[in-house]
Amino acid sequence: MDNFSEARADVHRLRAESSAILTGINTVLADDPALNARVDWDVVQPVRVVLDSDLNMPVTARMAKLAGRSLILTCSQDEKKRQALQSVGFEVYQLADKNSRLDLHAVMDFLAQQQINELLIEAGPVLNGALLAEGLVDEWVVYMAPCILGDQGRGLFTVPGLQSMADKKSLHLCDVRQIGLDVKLTLTAP
């Protein structure tokens, strides 16, 4: 098994252990992910959850064609977009907003009401930064590959206002493991 396969297999194991996988619309638009667990044992597939404040989800998204639940959480009141997404199998729920974006605390409350107790978030820097700023993540799992992307590579967090070391967000390192050639870091808030 090559390095890429070992790290990917570890991620799919995490997915299989989760009640739901959450991502943001920017990740969907960039990658069209399936958000499922591809493992070699029987598993109840996690619920797929997309945060989409403006209902920009394409009706042709791959996850619309997959068995199981695909939820879109939004603060948009666009009934035409809502109906189009529901017609291809998405469940669309309107939640409270905060500054014209989904209120992340309302999102977590809603997911708890849906009996989602183990939530895996696979997101880009904007959603990761918002979750970090709101203190809504219990544990961060970060995979690091031994390669350099340079200064044009995408970061892990977009956190406006972090300008100096005094503004930093500290995390507690709980575990370090080598997965193939990659390193897997498990971190929590102190």
pLDDT at 173 > cutoff 80: yes
Q: What is the mean pLDDT of residues 103-120?
A: 96
Average pLDDT over residues 10-36: 95
| Nearest Cα residue to 45 out of 8, 25, 70 | 70
Tokens of 109: 């409350």
What pLDDT score was predicted for residue 2?
47
The structure's pTM equals 0.91
Q: Which amino acid is at 49?
A: V
Mean pLDDT of the chain: 92
Bridging pattern class, strands 101-102 and 139-144: unpaired
Q: What distances in angstroms separate CA 104 from CA 111, 126, 186, one per listed residue?
A: 11, 13, 23
Domains and CATH numbers, the chain: 3-188 (3.40.430.10)
> How far apart are alpha carbons 179 and 120 in whole angstroms?
19
| Contact between residue 53 and residue 25 where contact means Cβ atoms under 8 Å apart | yes
Pairing between strand 182-188 and 139-144? antiparallel
